[in-house]
């Protein structure tokens, strides 16, 4: 029987949610062109679209916000954040950004020339989109176990070291301005990467003189997985593990809307003084002065507190336990998901659940749409809507290997009864899976189409 961990907090402020009628949900979906991003959030009952910026802040964070210093340059809030940054990440330089993709835009714009490649275990959507927008090629080299939903490999987010070496030798280190690694691997099930693998990847990039950047928005969850699963790491604190990870890299970017426990924020950090200077110049054009990036002083304070709260092991035990509870209950009911449960989300294996719907009719979209119609639950498709792109050489569409629907858990927001409702709704839906139909896309922009495309039910 799945076990639900007691929350290590109690609720002080509430926000009402409501389940509108099935007829109203149907109308809302039609108006939204069947794209769940286009729904009004008020029409959603349980919102598992993303864990990004959707968490609840603590009383300490709200208290810190009152101390925010809104000075344009050199604010107290910046120095408080800089102190926390030094303690956890230890990079020589950093700039705040308003969120993760702002850091990605600046980094990719400064370093990528058309035709260059950026390898990673797997890039998530905005990273992938930013690399393509600069004429670059995002390349995913995760281990094969990541594509077997039933494989219980403890670190399914690991990079395949042979694939990485062969790739570097094949395209040449001159075509790789930097190499990346996403922890945890969001596009592949929220699965962690081992410390041993990060070490080996760092050595490999450095053997070829390639800069190594970590996309670290869920680094705290990843560090706690390392503590639980990696031999020799049980005695280390999560903070110590995090420090070991970042020592291995030349830089990192973070969407702090995840393990930073804030509603808005991010950063780009690095060791190289020259790169930092160029980053500052780009930041001033796009985001703001280097001591605030795109953020208010109070946001910097909330982040300084939130980064430490995100590493708290009592919190992390609850956090990963809550995700595991949702996953184990679905497994008990025979619902195919990516196993083992990841850190921030459960990924329904829509490809296995709906084998009668082919890639080009979007099984993940079919499942996500029906989940909303059935129970007012909003998840997100991570499959061919998000990641099918024409091959730049042949023009042929390359489909991703997995068709998933991610149910992301906002931090410190939903309770066991909310998750039980989600499980019961999915079971009802799975019992009539043969009635689900695919979709056709009627409008889509060239990049990051999942956010704004429109669908027609087949
Ligand atoms: N990298 C990863 C691994 C992410 O998961 C995200 C965002 C970003 C970068 C970009 O950060 O949103 O602050 O600009 N992921 C969210 C999600 C949106 O739903 O997983 P951002």
To the nearest whole number, what is the mean pLDDT of the chain? Answer: 97
**pLDDT number for residue 27:** 98
**pLDDT number for residue 137:** 97
**pLDDT number for residue 322:** 98
Helix (H) or strand (E) holding 255: strand 251-255
Burial class (CB in 10 A: 0-12, 13-18, 19+), 280: middle
Condensed to tens digits (0 to 9), the pLDDT of residues 378-425 reads 999 999 999 998 888 888 999 999 999 999 999 999 999 999 999 999
Per-residue pLDDT, averaged over 426-443, amounts to 97
**3-class DSSP state for residue 250?**
coil
| Separation between Cα atoms, residue 250 and residue 238, nearest integer Å | 21
- Ligand 1 pocket mutation, candidates 124, 299, 345, 408, criterion most atoms within 8 A of CB: 124
Condensed to tens digits (0 to 9), the pLDDT of residues 102-136 reads 999 999 999 999 999 999 999 999 999 999 999 99
Reference 157, options 234, 70, 219; nearest CA is: 219
> Contact, 366 vs 436, CB < 8 A?
yes
What structural domains and CATH numbers belong to the chain?
22-51+312-457 (3.90.1150.10), 59-309 (3.40.640.10)
> Contact, 183 vs 222, CB < 8 A?
yes
Between the CA of 218 and the centroid of ligand 1 the distance, in Å, is 10
| Separation between Cα atoms, residue 115 and residue 127, nearest integer Å | 16
Q: Kindly report the protein residue whose alpha carbon is nearest to atom 19 of ligand 1.
A: 50
Between the CA of 338 and the centroid of ligand 1 the distance, in Å, is 20
288's tokens:
């703001």
Between the CA of 391 and the centroid of ligand 1 the distance, in Å, is 24
What sign does the dihedral 216-218-222-227 (CA atoms) show? Answer: positive
Reference 219, options 197, 187, 189, 190; nearest CA is: 190
Could you tell me how far CA 144 lies from the centroid of its own chain? 20
> Contact, 129 vs 447, CB < 8 A?
yes
**3-class DSSP state for residue 294?**
coil
**pLDDT number for residue 30:** 97
- Ligand 1 pocket mutation, candidates 258, 262, 385, 451, criterion most atoms within 8 A of CB: 258
Q: Kindly report the protein residue whose alpha carbon is nearest to atom 2 of ligand 1.
A: 124
Reference 352, options 405, 389, 306; nearest CA is: 405
Between the CA of 258 and the centroid of ligand 1 the distance, in Å, is 8
- Ligand 1 pocket mutation, candidates 218, 255, 387, criterion most atoms within 8 A of CB: 255
The residue with tokens 């995700």 is: 323
pLDDT band at 348 (very low <50, low <70, confident <90, very high): very high
Percent of the chain's residues with pLDDT above 90: 98
Between the CA of 333 and the centroid of ligand 1 the distance, in Å, is 30
Burial class (CB in 10 A: 0-12, 13-18, 19+), 2: middle
Buried residues in 46-77 as b, exposed as e (16+ CB within 10 A): bbbbbbbbbbbbbeebeebbeebbeeeeebeb
Beta bridge partner(s), residue 120:
140
Per-residue pLDDT, averaged over 192-208, amounts to 98
**pLDDT number for residue 182:** 98
pTM, two decimal places: 0.97
Cα-only R_g, the chain? 21
Burial class (CB in 10 A: 0-12, 13-18, 19+), 234: exposed
Buried residues in 387-415 as b, exposed as e (16+ CB within 10 A): bebeeeeeeeeeebebbbbbbbbbbbbbe
Between the CA of 54 and the centroid of ligand 1 the distance, in Å, is 12
The residue with tokens 């402020």 is: 13
Between the CA of 52 and the centroid of ligand 1 the distance, in Å, is 7
Ligand 1, pocket residues at CB < 6 Å:
50, 52, 99-101, 124, 126-127, 182, 186, 215, 217, 255, 257, 266
pLDDT band at 307 (very low <50, low <70, confident <90, very high): very high
- Ligand 1 pocket mutation, candidates 50, 51, 52, criterion most atoms within 8 A of CB: 52
Q: Kindly report the protein residue whose alpha carbon is nearest to atom 4 of ligand 1.
A: 124
Condensed to tens digits (0 to 9), the pLDDT of residues 139-194 reads 999 999 999 999 999 999 999 999 999 999 999 999 999 999 999 999 999 999 99
Between the CA of 1 and the centroid of ligand 1 the distance, in Å, is 33
The closest-lying atom of ligand 1 relative to the alpha carbon of residue 266 is 13
Residue 1 pLDDT > 90, yes or no? no
Between the CA of 265 and the centroid of ligand 1 the distance, in Å, is 11
Reference 211, options 169, 269, 157; nearest CA is: 269
């Amino acid at each position: 029987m799945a076990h639900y961990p007691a929350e290590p907090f109690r609720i002080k402020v509430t926000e009402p949610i409501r389940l509108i009628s099935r007829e109203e949900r149907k109308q809302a979906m039609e108006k939204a062109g069947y794209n769940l991003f286009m729904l009004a959030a008020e029409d959603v009952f349980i919102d598992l679209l993303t864990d990004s910026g959707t968490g609840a802040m603590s009383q300490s964070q709200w208290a810190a916000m009152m101390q925010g210093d809104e000075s344009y340059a050199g604010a107290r809030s910046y120095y408080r954040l800089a102190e926390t940054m030094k303690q956890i990440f230890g990079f020589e330089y950093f700039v705040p950004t308003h969120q993760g993709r702002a850091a990605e835009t600046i980094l990719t714009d400064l370093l990528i020339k058309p035709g260059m490649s950026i390898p990673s275990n797997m890039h998530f959507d905005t990273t992938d989109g930013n690399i393509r927008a600069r004429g670059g090629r995002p390349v995913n080299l995760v281990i094969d176990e990541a594509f077997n939903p039933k494989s219980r490999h403890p670190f399914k987010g690991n990079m395949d070291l042979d694939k990485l070496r062969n790739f570097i030798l094949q395209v040449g280190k001159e075509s790789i301005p930097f190499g990346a690694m996403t922890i945890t691997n969001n596009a592949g099930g929220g699965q962690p990467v081992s410390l041993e693998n990060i070490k080996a990847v760092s050595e490999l990039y450095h053997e070829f003189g390639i800069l190594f950047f970590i996309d670290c928005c869920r680094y705290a969850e990843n560090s706690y997985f390392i503590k639980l699963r990696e031999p020799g790491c049980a005695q280390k604190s999560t903070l110590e593990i995090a420090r070991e990870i970042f020592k291995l890299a030349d830089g990192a970017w973070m969407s702090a809307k995840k393990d930073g426990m804030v509603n808005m924020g991010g950063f780009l950090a690095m060791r190289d003084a020259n790169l930092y200077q160029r980053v500052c110049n780009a930041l001033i054009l796009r985001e703001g002065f280097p001591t605030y990036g795109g953020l208010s002083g109070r946001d910097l304070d909330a982040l300084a507190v939130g980064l430490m709260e995100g590493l708290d092991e009592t919190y992390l035990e609850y956090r990963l336990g809550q995700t595991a509870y949702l996953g184990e209950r679905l497994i008990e009911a025979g619902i195919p998901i990516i196993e083992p449960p990841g850190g921030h989300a459960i990924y329904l294996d829509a490809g296995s659940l709906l084998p009668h719907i082919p890639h080009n009719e979007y099984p993940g979209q079919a499942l996500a749409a029906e989940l909303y119609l059935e129970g007012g639950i909003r998840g997100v498709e991570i499959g061919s809507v998000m990641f099918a792109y024409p091959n730049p050489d042949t023009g042929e569409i390359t489909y991703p290997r997995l068709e998933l629907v991610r149910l992301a858990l906002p931090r410190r927001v939903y309770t066991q009864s909310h998750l039980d409702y989600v499980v019961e709704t999915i079971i009802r839906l799975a019992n009539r899976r043969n009635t689900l139909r695919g979709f056709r896309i009627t409008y889509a922009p060239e990049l990051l189409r999942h956010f704004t495309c429109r669908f027609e039910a087949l």
